[in-house]
C-alpha cells in the first residue's frame, strides 16, 4: 500500500511549499491531523464545560471524547463528507462512531464555526509563534554580521547611483531593522489575537441561551470557560457566525511585511553579488547553470524573493474576503482561506529559513569593495579638495569651477574611453592645487560619518533587548535547505 501511494504521489500535483520549501513544524500546524484533533479538543472543552455547568452531559461522555481526540479515522470522515457534503457534520458523525456513548452530545448548541474558526485562531497563534522564532533567529544572525563588518567602508547608493560611503555593517542594520519592525508587528498581532468562543449560529448565542433556559450569566460563563480551556485569555467582543475576517487581513499583512523586508534584502544581496562585493553561500558541488558552468547564481536570494512575492500577493485575498462578507457571514471565504491562510504562513516560514541560511554563509570580499570605492572616491572627495584649495589661498568660486571642469573630464575618461578615474592626477597638475595634499583626502573612513558608531548603538539599544527576551529561541538549530 505504501509503495502504491508513493508511486501515485508522482502522478499528482504536490504543493511545493510542503515538498520543497517550508519546515515540517509549520506544515504540521496546518495538517489535517492537527486541524481535526483541534476540532475534537474544542468539542471536549465544550462538553466538559456544559457538564460542569449542569447540562445533561456526563463525566463519562466527556472522558470518552477526550480519549479519542487524536484517534481519527480519516477514511470514515471522507465517506461521511461525500454523503453529507458538509465537513463539520462528517467529523461529528465520525467522532460519534468512535464514541457512541457520547454521540448524542457532540457539538451541542454549536454551529460549524465553533470548531472551524476557533481551531483556525489556535493554528494562527501557533504559526505566529513559529514565525516569531524564525524572525528572532535571523535578526540575531544579521546583527552578528553587522558587528563583524561595522567599520568596513563601502560605496553607498542612492537611486542605485554611487553616493556617500557607508559601511557593510551599517547596510546590514538596515536589513535588520526592517525585521525588528516586523517582529514588533508579529508581537502585536499575537497580543491582540483573541478567541471566537461560544457564539452560536449568528453570534447571538441564542441556542445556548435556550440550553440554559434564559440564564444570560450562564451563557457568558460557558463562553468564558471554553475560552480559557483552549488557552486564550480574551474573546472577541462580538462576532457574527464567524470572527471578523479583518483579523485574517491584519495577520496576513504582518506576514506580508516580513516578505517585503526579505525581498528588499534579497534584492540587495543579488545586486551586490553582481558587483562581486558580497556572495551568498555556494556549496562545493552546487551548479549555477546547466549551460554556463562558471556561473554562481544567487539562487537562495532569488528563491527568497520569489516566495516573499507570493506571500505578499496573498494579502489581497484576505483584504478582499474581509471586504466582501455579507451580513453575519457568507461561505465564499471558506475555500479561499483554506489556501491563503496556511500558504501565507508556509511561504514566510520558507522565506525565513532561506534568509537565515543566506546570512549564515554570507561571504564578503573587502578587496573588491575597496576597489569599487576607490573608483568613485575622487568624485566624493571634491568638497575636501575645494576646502584644501581655499586653505592654500585659492578663491572658492574659481576652485569650484576648476573642480567641476576636471570632474567632467575625468567622467568622460571613465565612461567614454573606459579608463580609470584620473581626477586626482588632473587636479595635481593644475597650478591652483599645487600646494594641496590631495591624496590625504582619499581615506574612505573620512566619509563614513558615524556609521560604525550607529551599528554599535543599534546592537546595544535594539538588538540586545531582543536577544535577552528571546534567549531560548536563539538556541534552536539551523535547518538545512530541502532543495
Active site residue 289: yes
159 belongs to the catalytic site = yes
**Contact residues for 277 (Cβ-Cβ < 8 A; gap 6+):** 154, 364, 365, 368, 369, 372
Backbone angles phi, psi at 146, to 5 degrees: -60, -40
| Helix, coil or strand: residue 76 | helix
Q: Are 222 and 210 in contact (CB under 8 A)?
A: no
Give the burial class of 203: count Cβ atoms within 10 A of its Cβ; 0-12 exposed, 13-18 middle, 19 or more buried: buried
Bridge partners of 154, per DSSP, are 166
Distance spanning both ends of the chain, measured CA to CA: 27
Identify the CA nearest to 305 among candidates 343, 360, 274, 347.
347
Q: Angle at CA 283, nearest 5°, toward 279 and 285?
A: 135
**Burial class, 29, CB count within 10 angstroms (exposed 0-12 / middle 13-18 / buried 19+):** buried
H runs (alpha helix) in 416-463: 423-429, 451-458
Q: Which of 9, 19, 289, 316 does the annotation list as catalytic?
A: 289
Contacts 24+ apart (CB under 8 A), 80-89: 86/112, 88/39, 88/112, 88/115, 88/116
CA atoms within 13 A on the CB side of 386: 16
Q: Measure the CA–CA gap between 287 and 283, rounded to whole angstroms.
A: 9
Q: Among 10, 159, 285, 417, which one carries the catalytic annotation?
A: 159
Q: Which residues are catalytic?
A: 159, 289
Amino acid at each position: 500500500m505504501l509503495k502504491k501511494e508513493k508511486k501515485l504521489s508522482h502522478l499528482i500535483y504536490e504543493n511545493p511549499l510542503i515538498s520543497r520549501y517550508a519546515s515540517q513544524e509549520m506544515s504540521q500546524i496546518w495538517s489535517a491531523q492537527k486541524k481535526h484533533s483541534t476540532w475534537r479538543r474544542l468539542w471536549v472543552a465544550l462538553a466538559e464545560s456544559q457538564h460542569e455547568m449542569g447540562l445533561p452531559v456526563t463525566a463519562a461522555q466527556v472522558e470518552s471524547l477526550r480519549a479519542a481526540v487524536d484517534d481519527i479515522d480519516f477514511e470514515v470522515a471522507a465517506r461521511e463528507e461525500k454523503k453529507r457534503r458538509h465537513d463539520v457534520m462528517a467529523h461529528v458523525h465520525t467522532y460519534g462512531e468512535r464514541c457512541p456513548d457520547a454521540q448524542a452530545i457532540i457539538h451541542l448548541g454549536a454551529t460549524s464555526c465553533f470548531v472551524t474558526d476557533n481551531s483556525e485562531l489556535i493554528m494562527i497563534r501557533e504559526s505566529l509563534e513559529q514565525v516569531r522564532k524564525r524572525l528572532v533567529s535571523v535578526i540575531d544572525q544579521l546583527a552578528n554580521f553587522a558587528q563583524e563588518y561595522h567599520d568596513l567602508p563601502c560605496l553607498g547608493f542612492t537611486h542605485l547611483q554611487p553616493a556617500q560611503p557607508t559601511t557593510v555593517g551599517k547596510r546590514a542594520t538596515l536589513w535588520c531593522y526592517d525585521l525588528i519592525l516586523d517582529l514588533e508587528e508579529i508581537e502585536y498581532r499575537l497580543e491582540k489575537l483573541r478567541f471566537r468562543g461560544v457564539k452560536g449560529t449568528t453570534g447571538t448565542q441564542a441556542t445556548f441561551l435556550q440550553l440554559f433556559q434564559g440564564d444570560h450569566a450562564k451563557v457568558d460563563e460557558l463562553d468564558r470557560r471554553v475560552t480559557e480551556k483552549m488557552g486564550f485569555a480574551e474573546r472577541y467582543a462580538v462576532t457574527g457566525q464567524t470572527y471578523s475576517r479583518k483579523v485574517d487581513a491584519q495577520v496576513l499583512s504582518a506576514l506580508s511585511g516580513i516578505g517585503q523586508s526579505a525581498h528588499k534584502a534579497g534584492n540587495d544581496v543579488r545586486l551586490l553579488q553582481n558587483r562581486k562585493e558580497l556572495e551568498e553561500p555556494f556549496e562545493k558541488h552546487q551548479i549555477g547553470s546547466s549551460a554556463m558552468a562558471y556561473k554562481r547564481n544567487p539562487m537562495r536570494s532569488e528563491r527568497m524573493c520569489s516566495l516573499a512575492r507570493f506571500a505578499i500577493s496573498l494579502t489581497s485575498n484576505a483584504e478582499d474576503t474581509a471586504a466582501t462578507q455579507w451580513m453575519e457571514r457568507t461561505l465564499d471565504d471558506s475555500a479561499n482561506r483554506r489556501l491563503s491562510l496556511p500558504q501565507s504562513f508556509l511561504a514566510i516560514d520558507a522565506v525565513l529559513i532561506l534568509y537565515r541560511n543566506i546570512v549564515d554563509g554570507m561571504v564578503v570580499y573587502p578587496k573588491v569593495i575597496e576597489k569599487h570605492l576607490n573608483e568613485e572616491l575622487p568624485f566624493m572627495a571634491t568638497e575636501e579638495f575645494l576646502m584644501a584649495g581655499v586653505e592654500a589661498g585659492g578663491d572658492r568660486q574659481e576652485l569650484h569651477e576648476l573642480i567641476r571642469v576636471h570632474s567632467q573630464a575625468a567622467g568622460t575618461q571613465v565612461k567614454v574611453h573606459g579608463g580609470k578615474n584620473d581626477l586626482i592626477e588632473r587636479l595635481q597638475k593644475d597650478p591652483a592645487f599645487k600646494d594641496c595634499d590631495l591624496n590625504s583626502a582619499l581615506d574612505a573612513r573620512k566619509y563614513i560619518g558615524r556609521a560604525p558608531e550607529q551599528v554599535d548603538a543599534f546592537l546595544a539599544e535594539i538588538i540586545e533587548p531582543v536577544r535577552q527576551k528571546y534567549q531560548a529561541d536563539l538556541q534552536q538549530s539551523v535547518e538545512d535547505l530541502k532543495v
